[in-house]
């Protein structure tokens, strides 16, 4: 599946980090999910892969173990890893389904207040990935960031100070952004978000609740 109406894309530094394999896993998940929806960014991403290929091709060689080829042929003879084709027909692209364990119906939501729900996905510790469910017309509490936040829309749309974000669009917010995303009327807005540092809420109640909900 791919979406022709995507307006907000990945930045070069995220694509380079993804190609180099240095992004935290949670960011990698958001990038891989966006790439499944956006051929424009996928082409850019594969161009960054090509840089890695060129560098690898030009490397000085390392000495192999004496029986290296034979050992590899034994690995081959042991059989291929079992892998199913990964193409999604649901709402969530395949990489996201891998982390959720299924499509939308498999998500285990927890309420975070004002009708907003979230579900934390298990990734390594460099950053946190979560699914967000924002009822149509509702707002996510006003917050700013210590680090970076990536928000990818999967269903519905939201608006904030930076514009409108619909399915496939990705918002990249850094420390300078103080924003109040509000879901459009219509479908509930479902997003995949990743942060590499805790958010900072401006009002007291969400701030007190934060340690419990890991927002």
Among 6, 8, 99, 190, binds another protein (CB under 8 A): 99
Site track for another protein across 25-54, x = CB under 8 A: x--xx-xxx-xx--xx-xxxxxxxxxxxxx
Q: Is 54 exposed, middle or buried (0-12, 13-18, 19+ CB in 10 A)?
A: exposed
Among 3, 90, 91, 94, binds another protein (CB under 8 A): 94
**Residue nearer to another protein on the CB measure, 99 or 165:** 99
- CA–CA separation, 213 vs 199, rounded Å? 11
Q: What would the two tokens of residue 202 be?
A: 């401006």
Name the DSSP letter for residue 123. Answer: -
- Does the footprint of another protein cover residue 72 (CB under 8 A)? yes
**Residue nearer to another protein on the CB measure, 149 or 160:** 149
**Residue nearer to another protein on the CB measure, 122 or 204:** 122
- CA–CA separation, 129 vs 116, rounded Å? 16
Query: 155 near 167, Cβ under 8 Å?
Result: yes
**Residue nearer to another protein on the CB measure, 88 or 178:** 88
Among 71, 106, 205, 208, binds another protein (CB under 8 A): 71
Where do we find the tokens 């022709």? Answer: 4
Name the DSSP letter for residue 186. Answer: S
Where do we find the tokens 């389904």? Answer: 97
- Does the footprint of another protein cover residue 170 (CB under 8 A)? no
- Vertex 196, ends 53 and 137: CA angle to 5°? 115
- Vertex 201, ends 198 and 205: CA angle to 5°? 115
- Does the footprint of another protein cover residue 67 (CB under 8 A)? yes
CB of 181: closest distance to another protein in angstroms? 24
Spatial neighbors of 39 by CB under 8 A, at least 6 apart, are 2
Among 5, 87, 185, 212, binds another protein (CB under 8 A): 87
User: Under the rule (CB under 8 A), what is the footprint of another protein?
Assistant: 1-2, 11-13, 16-17, 19-22, 25, 28-29, 31-33, 35-36, 39-40, 42-77, 80-81, 85-88, 93-95, 98-99, 123-124
């Amino acid at each position: 599946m791919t979406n022709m109406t995507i307006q907000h894309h990945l930045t070069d530094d995220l694509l380079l980090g993804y190609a180099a394999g240095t992004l935290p896993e949670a960011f990698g998940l958001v990038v891989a999910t966006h790439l499944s929806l956006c051929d424009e960014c996928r082409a850019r991403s594969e161009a960054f892969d090509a840089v890695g290929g060129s560098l690898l091709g030009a490397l000085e060689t390392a000495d192999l173990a004496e029986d290296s080829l034979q050992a590899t042929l034994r690995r081959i003879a042991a059989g291929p890893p079992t892998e199913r084709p990964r193409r999604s027909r649901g709402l969530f692209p395949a990489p996201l389904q891998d982390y959720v364990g299924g499509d939308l119906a498999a998500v285990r939501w927890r309420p975070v207040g004002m009708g907003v729900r979230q579900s934390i996905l298990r990734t390594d510790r460099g950053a946190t990935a979560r699914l967000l469910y924002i009822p149509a017309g509702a707002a996510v509490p006003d917050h700013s960031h210590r680090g970076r936040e990536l928000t990818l829309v999967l269903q519905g749309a939201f608006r904030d100070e930076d514009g409108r974000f619909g399915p496939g669009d990705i918002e990249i917010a850094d420390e300078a952004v103080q924003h109040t995303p509000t879901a459009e009327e219509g479908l509930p807005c479902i997003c995949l978000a990743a942060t590499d540092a805790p958010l900072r809420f401006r009002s007291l109640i969400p701030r007190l609740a934060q340690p419990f909900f890991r927002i």
